[in-house]
Chains A and B, each alone.
Chain A
Amino acid sequence: AQKVTQAQTEISVVEKEDVTLDCVYETRDTTYYLFWYKQPPSGELVFLIRRNSFDEQNEISGRYSWNFQKSTSSFNFTITASQVVDSAVYFCALSEALGGTSYGKLTFGQGTILTVHP
């Protein structure tokens, strides 16, 4: 069975600090996708990134960066120079494809509550 572990339940930082959110996953599939979502207080899920299992290149998007390491089954997310607007719950998720081009069913971690103080 697939499993996603986000060991950090809550993180509190002061604005402009860098923060890394950890994600460790378990799967027997050789082809899978990893996702990060942001959930602000309004509740909707905001898509941040999708990475397939064959692409271990790190990715940077503005203040966000992601480190995917298959050897340790980790997909960590770093926010550089955090801002108050980054305060939210962040979820890591792992897909189980239903076939074809499907990303399939998502298994979510429990989420990390990030609070950025001014």
Chain B
Amino acid sequence: SQTIHQWPATLVQPVGSPLSLECTVEGTSNPNLYWYRQAAGRGLQLLFYSVGIGQISSEVPQNLSASRPQDRQFILSSKKLLLSDSGFYLCASEGEQGDGYGYTFGSGTRLTVV
């Protein structure tokens, strides 16, 4: 089955500082990759998705960017964090795995911008 490594688990960053969250996937190849964000007390919102290396689609206008430098690596970045960037960020992978086709979420990064 697919395994997603997402780090760090928790992050506290000052306003205006840069951000880099990394997600790597094992157990599949050429997956569709997704970044979701969950604001406090709310549902999950899709931020970016990628269907291949270097291919990034943005779902909502925002202060963040995403990159996919390798097939199973997905990075979420910001040059200058805003208070509104605080939230719980989840990476997801969708692809063929040993027991069929699956959609798997990582364990998430809780980001607090102060």
Which A positions have Cβ atoms within 8 angstroms of B?
35, 37, 42-45, 47, 50, 91, 93, 98, 101-111
**Could you list which residues of chain B lie within 8 angstroms of chain A, going by C-beta atoms?**
32, 34, 36, 42-46, 49, 51, 59, 88, 90, 92, 94, 101, 103-108, 110
A91 to B43, CA, bound (A): 8
Q: CA separation between A112 and B36, bound complex, in Å?
A: 18
Q: Tell me the interface secondary structure of chain B in the complex.
A: strand
Given A106-B46, A110-B43, is A43 in contact with B32 using a C-beta cutoff of 8 Å? no
Write the nearest CB–CB distance from A68 to chain B, whole angstroms: 18
Decide yes or no: A104 and B90 within 8 Å by CB, A44-B107, A98-B51 being known contacts. Answer: no
Bound state CA distance, A49 and B37, in angstroms?
A: 21
CB-nearest residue of chain A to B34: A105
How far is A92 from B73 in the complex, measured between Cα atoms in Å? 27
Residue of A44, A101, A103, A109 touching B43 (CB-CB under 8 A): A109
A7 to chain B, nearest CB (A): 13
In Å, the complex CA distance between A107 and B110 comes to: 21
CA A82 – CA B41 in complex, angstroms? 23
Question: Measured between C-beta atoms, what is the minimum distance from A55 to chain B in Å?
Answer: 16
- What residues of chain A lie closer than 8 Å to B45, measured between beta carbons? 108
Name the one of A43, A50, A101 contacting B107, with C-beta atoms under 8 angstroms.
A43
Given A91-B43, A105-B46, A108-B43, residue A44 in contact with residue B105 (CB < 8 A): yes
Can you report 6 A-B residue pairs in the complex whose CB atoms are below 8 A from each other? A50-B103, A91-B43, A103-B94, A105-B59, A106-B46, A108-B44
CA distance A22 to B88 in the complex (A): 24
Query: What are the residues of chain A within 8 A of B106 when measuring CB–CB?
Result: 44
Q: Which residues of B contact A101 (CB under 8 A)?
A: 101
Given contacts A43-B107, A47-B103, A104-B32, contact A111 B43 (CB under 8 A): yes
Residues of B within 8 A of A43 (CB): 88, 107-108, 110
